[in-house]
Chains A and B, each alone.
Chain A
Amino acid sequence: MAQAVLAKTEYAYDPRTRLTIVLCLSSLSVFISDVRWLLGIFAAAFLLTLLFKGKILFAVKQFKWLLPMFVMLCFAQSLFGAAEGVLLQLGSLKLLSIYGIRQAALFSLRIVIVVLSATILLPESSRRMIQALSQMHCPYELAFMVTTAVRFMSVIREEFSNSLHAVQMRGADLKHIPMDKRMKVYTYILLPVMSSTLFRARQLSISLDLRGFRRSKERSSYFRLKMSAKDWMIIILALAITVACLLIYFL
């Protein structure tokens, strides 16, 4: 039955293949600290996201805050970082430096690569993802928790957005109030969002227990994922390229 239901949707790649690609791209972006290299990894991440039908538009929407963050980091890193290539100075204060711009670019590129590559996982169903993690010998409980936590992200976002709408619907124009008051609003909103999320998590765990979750130690599944030759090739290639990149970069 499960096989029949899941077979209705066409999946071109195994979830483990997608996980490997995401792992490789994220690892490269974390270990490599060179802007030119990171630009190359970004290009690869972009192409792979297209190939694996990841959600590029979804990722772009998450980057709205990236430009202000980049500007802020440029100044902060210039002010407190190494005095390399100072471009703008006020007395003894280094306002803008090559070092600051480079550090901000590194941070921004890393974030972009991680978010973009993470969208490669989005086309997968949570059932297939749990099964993939289980077949990778990850404990079922852990696999279930990971996918449930991912599902909760959208719940938290919706709750936060509802609370923000509620505040504004009571006449407070958040764009036109001072930053300290705006921060207070966000702090206030976080409280009910977190409490309601915890409440939902508690209800979910009670409901799971009532339905016999973890009743038996051994859990079997009729549905099994099978890796195709294409999946194996992509995984081997991805791992080989990642190791090669790291060796070339560090040696």
Chain B
Amino acid sequence: MQKENVKNFIELRNVCFAYPNASFSLENIDLNIKARGITLLCGPNGSGKSTICKLITGILQPTSGTLRIDGENALQMTLAQRGRKIGFLFQNPAQQIFAPEVSEELAFIPRLLGMPENEIEARSNELLQFFGLQKHKNSPTFFLSRGEKQRLAMAGILFMRPPFLILDEPTTGLDEENRQKLADLLHKLLEQGTGILLISHDEPFAAQFPDAEIITIKDGRIAN
């Protein structure tokens, strides 16, 4: 009952997309994703889950249809403007870590955007603590484990405090302990009011979120 009162954060209407020279396409996708709580996007491999994420985040552009984020026409927003509203965790977190050191990875973008140094330091410490990466503060990012890289990528995303997160197959390559840490972290973020779109076909992991709204996608179409 409470869920119904929460406004839609992401709205897709009749969104179509086709990759050039490929048979796969998304057809007339209609989606409403709430600003709070967790939405689970599931479906078999190659069904179009990651493509939907890339359309929402602006990495891909739909061939037709409308897309609104937080009430605004997302098709007229730049990647950076969408990034301020949505944090996107790539399937392979190593692809979004670019600084040589952990602390620099967190501070690089805020410095680029002119955030004051004392605020950067405070937020960095807070996030390193939250993600259990304090001891790696000055470590090279290249030698972190997959789980650590994922937590660092997540910390980097959360640094700018986006109100919504999209996580693309976040449990890929994680052992049981790290999967549990990730689930705990997501519960904490949900408590803090962050909205989450989780893409996963890891059923035991998804089962840890019994309140999740479930959207199933199959062969480029919404199945439920």
Contact = CB atoms under 8 A, between A and B. Distances in A.
Nearest to B99: A188
Contacts of B142: 192, 195
Contacts of A169: 57, 59, 79-80, 82-83, 86-88, 96, 157
B112 A162 contact: no
Contacts of A166: 90, 95-96, 98
Interface residues of B, number: 30
B207 interface: no
A163 B108 CA distance: 14
A162 B90 contact: yes
Contacts of A163: 95-96, 98
Given A177-B112, A191-B100, A170 B156 contact: yes
A8 interface: no
Contact of B98 (A174, A181, A189): A189
B10 to A, nearest CB: 15
Given A188-B108, A195-B142, A172 B96 contact: no
| Chain A interface extent, by class | 20 to 34
A188 B78 contact: no
A171 B95 contact: no
B96 A162 contact: yes
A189 B97 CA distance: 9
A167 to B, nearest CB: 7
A218 to B, nearest CB: 39
Contact of B160 (A159, A171, A173, A174): A171
B81 interface: yes
A179 to B, nearest CB: 13
Interface in A135-192: 159, 162-163, 165-175, 177, 181, 184-185, 188-189, 191-192
B109 interface: yes
Contacts of B82: 169
A162 B54 CA distance: 11
Contact of B95 (A159, A168, A185, A188): A159
B78 A173 contact: yes
A89 interface: no
A170 B98 contact: no
Interface string B88-124: 1010001111111000000011001100000000000
Given A172-B80, A175-B78, 5 more contacts: A165-B79, A168-B79, A171-B84, A173-B79, A173-B80
9 contacts: A162-B95, A162-B96, A165-B59, A166-B90, A170-B157, A171-B83, A172-B112, A185-B112, A196-B95
